[in-house]
Each structure stands twice: as C-alpha cells, then as structure tokens.
Amino acid sequence: MEYVNPEGLRLDGRRPMEMRQLRAEIGVVSRADGSAVFEMGNTKVIAAVYGPREVQNKSQQMSDQALVRCEYSMANFSTGERKRKPKGDRRSTEISLVIRQTMEACILTDQMPRTQIDIFVQVLQADGGTRSACINAATLALADAGIPMRDLVTSCSAGYLNSTPLLDLNYVEDGAGGPDVTVGILPKLDKVTLLQMDAKLPMDTLESVMQLAAEGCKAVANYIREILLEHTKQLEVRRGT
C-alpha cells in the first residue's frame, strides 16, 4: 500500500514531517486537583491528577520522595477495533508503567515526601499515538495541579514507511507494520526520557526517525507552553489582578 503518494502527501493529506492538529483544554474535571484534555488529530485523551495527598497504602509510603501512580485505560467507545480489553490487559499495564516512569522523570518527587500523586489517563478516541497524547495530557494536568516539575515532558511518535520518515503516525499508518518510534523529552533540559520502538528499523535510519519524533516533541512543548500561558492569563483575569 502507498502511504505517501507521488505528490508527497499522506493518506490524511499531511506532509511527511507534519504533525496532526493539536488541541488542549485545562481544568476539565472539577473534582480533580488538575486535569486536561489533549487531542492530536482524531486521538483524544483526558488526564486527571490527584495529589500530592496522603499515601493510601502505608506500606508503600516513602520517607524521602512522593509515590507516583499512573493508570492508563481506553474508554469502551474509544475504538471500533477493540483487539484487547480496555483496562487491565498487558498493553494497558505496560503503557501505565511507561507513562508513570516518564512523568516521574519530570516531577520533583523529593519535594513531596510521604505523599502520593495519582495520574489517571483515559483514551476517549483512539487513532494512533495514544501513549504520546496521554503523556502530553498528564503534563498539562500536573501543571494544573501545581505539582512541582523540573521541566515539562512532551511526547510524539514517528515512523518509517515507503522509505520516508513520517511524523506522528495515525492508526492506519501505525498498523502498516513499519517501525513506530515513540519519544519523550524534557525540552528545556534537552533530555530524552522515553524511547520505545516496535518493529525493526535499519540503524542508519533510526537516528533520523528519532530526531523527527524529538522535533515533534518540541513543537508539542511550544504548544503546551502557549496553553499554560493562556490559562494563567485567564486565571488572572478571573481573580481581577
């Protein structure tokens, strides 16, 4: 199948290095300490953060740092093509772990000893790249909750189809059987905190695909900064300052 046509356009009309449309909203779950919706094209996820709060299971309490927990799930209606269970299966467990480790790299856990931070992320609409969208939503939700972080953490994926590196794969491109490289970065510190790949990729192309995904992460970081700035301005207006 042709994933990039002779005019250089992908199936959804994007250029190879073009990301899907981003959209975000902060403060969507009023009971949570922080929350956000994040969309990358037709992939739409929601994140809610609770904490720092008392550790529920005292045996897990740590005297020198906060306990970070993360739960990833897919809503029953998020996809027409359910291959696995929406929650509690191996894929969800793995993605929960990956997101937790990625978020832990940016949270200043040592500033909140003996507490617990819960991050819930749920896929509302799945069209590829849900783990990246969840990381981006979790970053916004953590910022909304006022959790101290050393940097933002943002994520994006890139693939390699028809001998062309492609940014931010959608479901059809993801299912093409080619490599899918998901990267997470701390943009200000210029550090990679997450690198995952499925399928094989020649060594000489790995660098360029990874670089492309990292560029996508930086574009997401710029967008997230804009959204946070906008949100802060709105809060100031509401407070009348």
- Roughly what angle, to the nearest 10 degrees, separates helices 130-144 and 90-104? 40
Question: DSSP readout, 112-157?
Answer: STTEEEEEEEEEEE-SS-HHHHHHHHHHHHHHHTT--BSS--EEEE
Binding region for ligand UDP (CB under 6 A) out of 30-38, 46-54, 82-90, 144-152: 82-90
119-138 residues in contact with ligand UDP (CB under 6 A) are: 126-131
DSSP state of 127: S
For position 83 contacting ligand UDP by CB under 6 A, the verdict is: yes
Residue appearing with tokens 């045996």: 59
CB of 171 to ligand UDP, least distance (A): 4
Binding region for ligand UDP (CB under 6 A) out of 79-87, 112-120, 204-212, 218-226: 79-87
CB of 50 to ligand UDP, least distance (A): 24
For position 76 contacting ligand UDP by CB under 6 A, the verdict is: no
For position 225 contacting ligand UDP by CB under 6 A, the verdict is: no
Using CB under 6 A, count the residues that bind ligand UDP: 15
CB of 149 to ligand UDP, least distance (A): 22
Please, is 239 exposed, middle or buried when counting C-beta atoms within 10 Å of its C-beta (0-12, 13-18, 19+)? exposed
Tokens matching residue 18: 């073009």
Nearer to ligand UDP by Cβ, of 50 and 160: the residue is: 160
Binding region for ligand UDP (CB under 6 A) out of 14-22, 77-85, 135-143, 212-220: 77-85
For position 171 contacting ligand UDP by CB under 6 A, the verdict is: yes
CB of 112 to ligand UDP, least distance (A): 28
User: What is the three-class DSSP state of 152?
Assistant: coil
With beta carbons less than 8 A apart as the criterion, state whether 19 and 167 touch. yes
DSSP state of 18: P
CB of 133 to ligand UDP, least distance (A): 8
Q: How far apart are CA 225 and CA 182, in angstroms?
A: 21
With beta carbons less than 8 A apart as the criterion, state whether 46 and 121 touch. yes
**Of residues 81, 237, 238, 239, which one binds ligand UDP by CB under 6 A?**
81
Q: Which residues contact 192 (CB under 8 A, 6 or more apart)?
A: 183, 184, 185, 214
With beta carbons less than 8 A apart as the criterion, state whether 144 and 232 touch. no
For position 174 contacting ligand UDP by CB under 6 A, the verdict is: yes
CB of 5 to ligand UDP, least distance (A): 23
Nearer to ligand UDP by Cβ, of 39 and 174: the residue is: 174
With beta carbons less than 8 A apart as the criterion, state whether 125 and 43 touch. yes
Interacting residues toward ligand UDP by CB under 6 A: 79, 81-84, 91, 126-131, 171, 174, 180
